[in-house]
Amino acid sequence: MGSGYLAERSWAAVLAIAQGRYPETRDAMARYGLDSEGSLVAVAADSPDAVLQWQPLRGWTACERAGPVAAAMLDLYLPVCAATEQSPVVVGHLGQSLDGFIALKSGDSDYVTGPANILHLHRMRALCDAVVVGAETVSADDPELTARHAGGRNPTRIVIDPTRRLAPSHGVFTDNAASTVVVCDEAYADRDGAAAANVVGVPSDESGLDLGALLDALRARSLYSVFVEGGGKTVSAFLERGLLDRLQIAIAPIVIGRGRPGLTLAPRERIDDCLRLAPQYYAMGGDVLCDCDLRSVHDADGVSSVRYID
């Protein structure tokens, strides 16, 4: 059995959990395989087809015989699947060079990271209710922001455009692949005399738009899992305000020299004031993804080994 097949099967199982395609009765340990539609179905405890198991208190875990790829997939993606109204999840992601840049000076970023990380982006979009980007990313990339490589549903696309400077001709506003919401300063919300349903105005202060108010507005629309996909200024703004639950940085073995920066935060006075994280590392082709849980206290001295999801 090839590792690609195992990864596809494990991803199908994750997607089935995210979309609630599994039997409801789970009052004891149960094992699940996949049917031809990609839904989870109960199988015998010793079935060779078992991919996942569910146990009271522990929840979903990978079956031992499903192997390390399935276990790594669950650890990486289940925290996103678990988002609810009571417990929403916000994940920031950047794909950067070894020297910390996410694009060339010109804005070209096709592609800093390789195909495995691009597939990961599509998987994150498929699992999340909303994907958020800054105006500069739409201006530079004209991205589709769909989950087309992952086989899931497309998220609602959220574009942060404080002064509504973006031209209406960009793909996210015209392609009908998913709905798109523009978040702007409240002074620009009814620029044309009437606030459109797909425009949300939020207050600003000296540091920019109130991103907490932005997240409240998304939750009011039942968007509970939010993927902040870039660029650097946008992910940095969410991180600086303490609004990210997870931070994912994919590091590609490329040196850009001088380009558009990834994270840029206010300067810290002392090393001890800096954010020191304890990531889980996932190999994605030639890149490494550092997946950081920002809500749990970790032992920063413990170094996790690199796990493979492909």
Kindly state the smallest distance separating residue 215's Cβ from ligand NAP, in Å: 11
Measured CA to CA, the distance from residue 159 to residue 86 in angstroms comes to: 24
265 close to 94: Cβ distance less than 8 angstroms: no
Nearer Cβ to ligand NAP, position 65 or 105?
105
Maximum Cα–Cα distance for the chain, whole Å? 65
Rounded-to-integer distance, Cα 209 and Cα 55, Å? 43
Rounded least distance, CB 208 to ligand NAP, Å: 3
Q: Which is nearer to ligand NAP, 9 or 260 (CB)?
A: 260
* 160 Cβ contact partners less than 8 Å away, ≥ 6 residues apart: 132, 133, 134, 135, 183, 184, 209, 214, 234
Interface residues toward ligand NAP, by CB under 6 A: 94-95, 102-103, 107, 109, 112, 133-137, 140-141, 160-163, 165, 208-209, 211, 229-234, 237, 260
Smallest distance from ligand NAP to CB 216, Å: 14
CB of 256 to ligand NAP, least distance (A): 10
Helices assigned H by DSSP within the chain: 3-18, 67-81, 115-127, 135-141, 171-174, 211-220, 232-240
| Residue 232 C-beta: closest distance to ligand NAP, Å | 4
Cβ proximity to ligand NAP, 126 vs 237, nearer residue: 237
Q: How far is the CB of 230 from ligand NAP (least distance, A)?
A: 2
Distance in angstroms (rounded) separating the CA atoms of residues 14 and 2: 19
CB nearer ligand NAP, residue 141 or residue 310 = 141
Nearer to ligand NAP, 53 or 248 (CB): 248
User: CB-wise, 177 or 213, nearer to ligand NAP?
Assistant: 213
Q: How far is the CB of 102 from ligand NAP (least distance, A)?
A: 4
* CB of residue 56 to ligand NAP, shortest distance in Å: 39
Measured from each CB, the residue nearest to ligand NAP is: 231
CB 19 → ligand NAP: shortest distance, Å? 26
33/51 Cα distance (integer angstroms): 5
Residue of 78, 2, 76, 135 whose CA lies nearest to 288: 76
| Distance from C-alpha of 244 to C-alpha of 74, rounded to nearest angstrom | 20
Q: Which is nearer to ligand NAP, 64 or 108 (CB)?
A: 108
CA distance 236 to 215: 15
Which residue pairs from 239-244 have beta carbons closer than 8 angstroms and sit at least 24 positions apart in sequence? 239/92, 239/263, 239/265, 240/207, 240/265, 240/266, 241/211, 241/212, 243/90, 243/211, 243/212, 243/215, 244/90, 244/91, 244/92, 244/294
Nearer to ligand NAP, 137 or 146 (CB): 137
Residue 71 or residue 131: which is nearer to ligand NAP going by CB?
Answer: 131
d(Cα 155, Cα 223) in Å, to the nearest integer?
Answer: 9
DSSP 285: T
